[in-house]
Amino acid sequence: MAENERSDLDHAAGRNGDGPAPVKDEAPAQQVAPPLPQPGGGRYAQIVGWGYHVPSKVITNHDLEQIVDTSDEWIRTRTGIEERRVAADPNETTASLAAAAARKALDVADVHPSKVDLIICSTSSPEYIFPATASVVQDAIGAVNAGAFDLSAACSGFVYGLAMARGHILAGDAEYVLVIGAETLSRIVDWTDRNTCVLFGDGAGAVLVAASDVPGGIMATELGSDGSGADMLIVPAGGSAHPASLETVSNGSHFIKMEGKAVFRFAVRVMAEATTKALDRAGLTPDDVDLVIPHQANLRIVQNSVLRQLKIPEDRVFVNLQRYGNTSTASIPIALCEAIEAKKVKPGDNLVFVGFGGGLTWAACAVKWGVPTAAPEVGWWRSTRRQAGYQAAAARSMWRRAVRWMYDVWPADPEEAASGDHEATAPEPKKQVSGSRGE
Ligand code: UT7
Counted domains in the chain: 2
- Domain membership of residue 160 (yes or no) is yes
Same domain, 390 and 307: no
pLDDT in tens, 235-290: 999 999 999 999 999 999 999 999 999 999 999 999 999 999 999 999 999 999 99
- Per-residue pLDDT at 177 exceeds 60: yes
- Per-residue pLDDT at 17 exceeds 70: no
Same domain, 386 and 363: no
β-pair partners for 220:
366
Other residues' Cβ atoms within 10 Å of the Cβ of residue 23: 16
pLDDT value at residue 439: 38
Same domain, 319 and 363: yes
Question: What percentage of the chain has pLDDT greater than the value 70?
Answer: 84
Same domain, 229 and 158: yes
- Domain membership of residue 168 (yes or no) is yes
The model's confidence at residue 420, banded by pLDDT at 50, 70 and 90, is low
The arithmetic mean of pLDDT across residues 393-420, rounded, is 77
Same domain, 46 and 194: yes
pLDDT in tens, 97-111: 999 999 999 999 999
The arithmetic mean of pLDDT across residues 119-124, rounded, is 98
Instruction: Name residue 203's amino acid.
Output: G
| Closest CA to ligand 1's atom 16 | 260
Same domain, 403 and 292: no
Domain termination residue (choose one: 347, 368, 389): 368
| 196 Cα: distance to centroid of ligand 1 (angstroms) | 8
Per this entry, what is the length of the chain? 439
| 235 Cα: distance to centroid of ligand 1 (angstroms) | 18
The model's confidence at residue 427, banded by pLDDT at 50, 70 and 90, is low
Same domain, 80 and 45: yes
List of residues 6+ apart from 60 with CB closer than 8 A: 72, 82, 83
| 395 Cα: distance to centroid of ligand 1 (angstroms) | 48
Structural domain including 302 reads 7-14+32-368
CB of residue 195 inside a 6 A radius of ligand 1:
yes
CA triplet 297, 303, 304: central angle to 5 degrees?
100
pLDDT value at residue 385: 79
The arithmetic mean of pLDDT across residues 82-103, rounded, is 97
- Domain membership of residue 364 (yes or no) is yes
Q: 66, 76, 78: which to mutate for ligand 1, most atoms within 8 A of CB?
A: 78
Question: What percentage of the chain has pLDDT greater than the value 90?
Answer: 74
- Per-residue pLDDT at 4 exceeds 60: no
Per the CB < 8 A criterion, the answer to whether 209 and 48 are in contact is: yes
User: Could you tell me which of 148, 119, 97, 143 has the C-alpha nearest to residue 386?
Assistant: 143
- Domain membership of residue 22 (yes or no) is no
Q: 66, 261, 300, 334: which to mutate for ligand 1, most atoms within 8 A of CB?
A: 261
Domain termination residue (choose one: 343, 368, 393): 368
pLDDT value at residue 3: 37
Domain termination residue (choose one: 319, 343, 368): 368
277: phi then psi, degrees, rounded to nearest 5: -65, -45
pLDDT in tens, 299-310: 999 999 888 899
pLDDT value at residue 2: 38
Same domain, 142 and 270: yes
257-266, 374-383, 430-439 — most confident range:
257-266
Q: Are strands 176-184 and 118-122 parallel, antiparallel or unpaired?
A: parallel
Per the CB < 8 A criterion, the answer to whether 33 and 170 are in contact is: no
7-11, 128-132, 413-417 — most confident range:
128-132
pTM over 0.85: yes
Same domain, 180 and 67: yes
| 78 Cα: distance to centroid of ligand 1 (angstroms) | 7
The arithmetic mean of pLDDT across residues 382-398, rounded, is 82
Which ligand 1 atom is nearest residue 355's CA?
1
Per the CB < 8 A criterion, the answer to whether 335 and 292 are in contact is: no
User: Could you tell me which of 69, 168, 84, 181 has the C-alpha nearest to residue 124?
Assistant: 181
Same domain, 286 and 414: no
Mean pLDDT of the chain: 87
- Domain membership of residue 288 (yes or no) is yes
**How far is the C-alpha of 320 from the C-alpha of 211, rounded, in Å?**
30
Same domain, 364 and 394: no
β-pair partners for 368:
217, 350
Same domain, 318 and 408: no
pLDDT value at residue 8: 37
CB of residue 78 inside a 6 A radius of ligand 1:
yes
Which sequence positions are flagged as catalytic?
155, 295, 326
Which domain CATH number covers 256? Answer: 3.40.47.10
- Domain membership of residue 24 (yes or no) is no
- Domain membership of residue 96 (yes or no) is yes
pLDDT value at residue 107: 93
Per the CB < 8 A criterion, the answer to whether 360 and 227 are in contact is: yes
CB of residue 326 inside a 6 A radius of ligand 1:
yes
Per the CB < 8 A criterion, the answer to whether 135 and 148 are in contact is: yes
- Domain membership of residue 335 (yes or no) is yes
